[in-house]
Structure 1
């Protein structure tokens, strides 16, 4: 699980979360990766170069060699597969496809629902959601199916079905909680990445299958999000979370790019599938806020207005291993939005191209035999010393996003990828509310106390970060 609005310092995140990120010793500085942001071949070669050390980090940090399971995290590998599949789609680079395919299917588990009992006791809804997005990405890109296994669409459907069965109207009139089980700290919270991620998954399944049920759920999740403190439609600000313990009357307003990205992409898919102008307006409103906030222009701090930055943590090097991923996923999501809503292309392209050029300059690190290491600050002309799978993945996402636009990489549907049709699995067990342990009063009180303590720490840390800006 991860907490989007917990801006702990790097040292604290290492001690608490066991993150593998290190402030490297700046030794031999390599040449930049030469990137011409308008040249497909240049971007392809840059992506391959960035993938090399990322793949090394992946293989080195698998927990006891378990395919798709990284030390102290589970969802990050699923998000990495999502990124690699999209990069394969726009570049043709297939060197790691067989392992991606095997490990993505392996982690689906015995019931093919990305909720295997080896992990399910401590997962959050957003953990599972990222694997569902990886699976629907495989369907939309035509990633090869696995013989004698469910289709990628079926795996995405299984995640969707489990999660909508967790829709919780006992507080806040709905929404899904961040955590799945009442004994987990943060159980009563409803956060944007869980609800926005499910919204995006529903919209993508709806467009891919043309099944009205998915569209209906996408509408429902959006309407709830906009009625809650999560999306403030007056200025298109997306909050990180709201608390079910006080019926969702407050909001954690720390700004993280991936919260915007999930809703932007989902709204764009809905517009492309339905043609309803309200979805184009929603996509543009959220996109304008993202482009204004996460592409800052401040020469005194090194910002030039065309480089993506998660500004809540990057300037002070306080991003934990989760936050380091955010702008890579968001880059791909806003690229897809610009493809699905073509009127947005002129807004998005200069920002992504500026980011690609910056990535090329900043991925010049070298440590422990690995070269072309990419740090967290793309706006910095040299490697900033942060290393790990997460920063390599973010850089690959930034490169991939540009290739998506240059290739006009429209997502497939069942009509153009009929091999990906849904299958109803005999082994699949729906995760209905009755299947979960009965929630006692003690559970609720305990989860409320844990949430209050956790939330207090988050607010304090957020206040400190804001004061440091």
Structure 2
């Protein structure tokens, strides 16, 4: 282990501190071509993340973190991918229990405890966690539906929300008209459903999912969300209030990542050259914009918020998920490996230097800094674990399972009614719609103002 300098302390003082058992902060040494080194780093980073999880559960509810619901699902997605390539199974029993607990009474991740205020992207992340369980061979739960069935339930519900009342399609960001921002169609909701459909198509060999993946991506191209003609620019959102003719263009890595991996999976399934072109186009934009030359070109940065210290709880996660999706892209489309590998390896080395906060292995957000940036919590630990896991995925050089080599995960059809049925939701009145419109306008104005402020600070 390499110890950091004690600055102005003299040698005698430094020795005294060490003798008193007060450890000086140290980096996590990372050898990016060593599976053992990466496994050790992953284990070190996962431990404090897990402590944050246990300490921040809302009233001890399994899988429910304070002030958020989807983040725990994304954490389980990350942990299952980490387990597959590391063999570290110490968290599996709790992940399994809490994943199934949050599936709800209808096993669709839309339980009435949360359904009144959820967004489509919230539910979608649990669906991605469920399909990750199937693809990694995560153990099934006896007497419960398979993980594939849970992923299918999420996909089916969201496909049923396809909204042609404006914009010629797409799914809205929020699920209910009374929610602020309801009329927005954003990239993570539509791109997330696209990714989920593509992965279900590959796992189950069900052509219906291929058709839906095609439909969602084509709609995204026709909308302002993906601008192929502008070097594969991916916007964050567009609004149904003006029939989706313009867009909010803030740049977030996970929007690129979710369309990227979905495209890679579609190419893996179909061998259609259009999906290879789309994969390479999205990767080209992602691998330049979010790996700035000023940091050497191979260190991941959420550039819209990191320098300005404005990354919120959600944004702190993006790099970790996108790193996992980049590694999966390399699995699905080997032609991309030469671009992806140095990006993920450079980020892993940087993560090792950033994870030297307060106590051993506490990670920060700005990976390009050689010392901890003072940010701590479950989200930055998860992002760092995603960065390390992505490198283990590259070394494993394997691919996600399908029903052919994981038959225990075969899709089951659930006959239970859904919380999304009209009988389960309050009747939407004209007043609700007017109120929703007012809230959306106010919310949208706030987004524009925030975006303007961020740009002015650059």
TM norm structure 1: 0.91
Q: Following TM superposition, by how much is the alpha carbon of 1:456 offset from its aligned partner in structure 2, in angstroms? A: 1.1
Q: Following TM superposition, by how much is the alpha carbon of 1:328 offset from its aligned partner in structure 2, in angstroms? A: 0.2
1:197 aligns with 2:197: no
* Structure with max Cα Rg: 2
Provide the residue aligned with 1:318 in structure 2: 310
Provide the residue aligned with 1:7 in structure 2: none
Provide the residue aligned with 2:268 in structure 1: 272
1:308-327 deviation digits (Å, cap 9, x = unpaired): 00010001211001000000
1:465 aligns with 2:457: no
Provide the residue aligned with 1:304 in structure 2: 296
Q: How many residues align?
A: 436
1:319-360 deviation digits (Å, cap 9, x = unpaired): 001000000000000110111000000000000000000000
Question: In structure 1, how many angstroms separate the alpha carbons of the residues matched to 2:164 and 2:430?
Answer: 17
Q: Secondary structure at the match of 1:386?
A: coil
Q: Following TM superposition, by how much is the alpha carbon of 1:28 offset from its aligned partner in structure 2, in angstroms? A: 7.1
Provide the residue aligned with 1:3 in structure 2: none
Provide the residue aligned with 2:208 in structure 1: 213
Q: Which moved more, 1:443-452 or 1:182-191?
A: 443-452
Is the 2:26–2:360 contact (alpha carbons within 8 Å) kept by the matching residues of 1?
no
Is the 2:320–2:383 contact (alpha carbons within 8 Å) kept by the matching residues of 1?
yes
Is the 1:44–1:91 contact (alpha carbons within 8 Å) kept by the matching residues of 2?
yes
Provide the residue aligned with 2:401 in structure 1: 412
Q: Secondary structure at the match of 2:313?
A: coil
Question: In structure 2, how many angstroms separate the alpha carbons of the residues matched to 1:232 and 1:356?
Answer: 31
Provide the residue aligned with 2:4 in structure 1: none
Q: Secondary structure at the match of 1:372?
A: coil
Q: Following TM superposition, by how much is the alpha carbon of 1:438 offset from its aligned partner in structure 2, in angstroms? A: 3.8
Provide the residue aligned with 1:226 in structure 2: 221
Provide the residue aligned with 1:349 in structure 2: 341
Provide the residue aligned with 1:37 in structure 2: 32
Q: Following TM superposition, by how much is the alpha carbon of 1:452 offset from its aligned partner in structure 2, in angstroms? A: 1.3
Q: Following TM superposition, by how much is the alpha carbon of 1:371 offset from its aligned partner in structure 2, in angstroms? A: 2.7
Instruction: Find the partner of 1:98 among 93, 101, 105.
Output: 93
Is the 2:137–2:401 contact (alpha carbons within 8 Å) kept by the matching residues of 1?
yes
Q: Which has the higher contact order (CA 8 A, sep 6+)?
A: 1
Q: Following TM superposition, by how much is the alpha carbon of 1:445 offset from its aligned partner in structure 2, in angstroms? A: 2.0
Q: Secondary structure at the match of 1:172?
A: coil
Q: Secondary structure at the match of 2:133?
A: helix
Q: Following TM superposition, by how much is the alpha carbon of 1:162 offset from its aligned partner in structure 2, in angstroms? A: 0.5
1:162-203 deviation digits (Å, cap 9, x = unpaired): 100101100101100000011110000000000000000000
1:406-434 deviation digits (Å, cap 9, x = unpaired): 10130111001000001112335373567
Question: In structure 2, how many angstroms separate the alpha carbons of the residues matched to 1:236 and 1:363?
Answer: 33
Structure 1 205/311 Cα, relative in aligned 2: closer, same or farther at 3 Å?
same
Q: Which runs of at least 4 in structure 1 moved beyond 6 Å after TM superposition? A: none
Q: Following TM superposition, by how much is the alpha carbon of 1:44 offset from its aligned partner in structure 2, in angstroms? A: 0.4
Structure 1 168/433 Cα, relative in aligned 2: closer, same or farther at 3 Å?
farther
Q: Which moved more, 1:165-174 or 1:423-432?
A: 423-432
1:77-114 deviation digits (Å, cap 9, x = unpaired): 00000000000000000011000010001100000000
Q: Following TM superposition, by how much is the alpha carbon of 1:59 offset from its aligned partner in structure 2, in angstroms? A: 0.0
Instruction: Find the partner of 1:453 among 413, 436, 442.
Output: 442
5 Å-filtered alignment, 1:51-130, equals 51-130=46-125
Question: In structure 2, how many angstroms separate the alpha carbons of the residues matched to 1:269 and 1:76?
Answer: 24
Q: Following TM superposition, by how much is the alpha carbon of 1:388 offset from its aligned partner in structure 2, in angstroms? A: 0.3
Question: In structure 2, how many angstroms separate the alpha carbons of the residues matched to 1:432 and 1:377?
Answer: 44
Provide the residue aligned with 2:19 in structure 1: none
Structure 1 399/446 Cα, relative in aligned 2: closer, same or farther at 3 Å?
same
Instruction: Find the partner of 1:397 among 386, 395, 410.
Output: 386
Q: Following TM superposition, by how much is the alpha carbon of 1:40 offset from its aligned partner in structure 2, in angstroms? A: 0.7
1:356-393 deviation digits (Å, cap 9, x = unpaired): 00000010001xxx431111100000100000000000
Question: In structure 2, how many angstroms separate the alpha carbons of the residues matched to 1:276 and 1:174?
Answer: 24
Is the 2:317–2:379 contact (alpha carbons within 8 Å) kept by the matching residues of 1?
yes
1:248 aligns with 2:240: no
Q: Secondary structure at the match of 1:224?
A: helix
Q: Secondary structure at the match of 1:171?
A: coil
TM norm structure 2: 0.93
Q: Which moved more, 1:88-97 or 1:455-464?
A: 455-464
Q: Following TM superposition, by how much is the alpha carbon of 1:448 offset from its aligned partner in structure 2, in angstroms? A: 1.6
Provide the residue aligned with 1:441 in structure 2: 430
Instruction: Find the partner of 2:360 among 356, 363, 371.
Output: 371
Q: Secondary structure at the match of 1:242?
A: strand
Is the 2:171–2:185 contact (alpha carbons within 8 Å) kept by the matching residues of 1?
yes
Q: Secondary structure at the match of 2:361?
A: strand
5+ long unaligned stretches in structure 1? 1-26
Question: In structure 1, how many angstroms separate the alpha carbons of the residues matched to 2:74 and 2:422?
Answer: 27
Provide the residue aligned with 2:322 in structure 1: 330
Provide the residue aligned with 2:285 in structure 1: 289
CA RMSD of aligned residues (A): 1.3
Q: Secondary structure at the match of 1:270?
A: helix
1:161 aligns with 2:151: no
Q: Following TM superposition, by how much is the alpha carbon of 1:442 offset from its aligned partner in structure 2, in angstroms? A: 2.2
Q: Following TM superposition, by how much is the alpha carbon of 1:440 offset from its aligned partner in structure 2, in angstroms? A: 3.0
Instruction: Find the partner of 1:50 among 45, 53, 62.
Output: 45
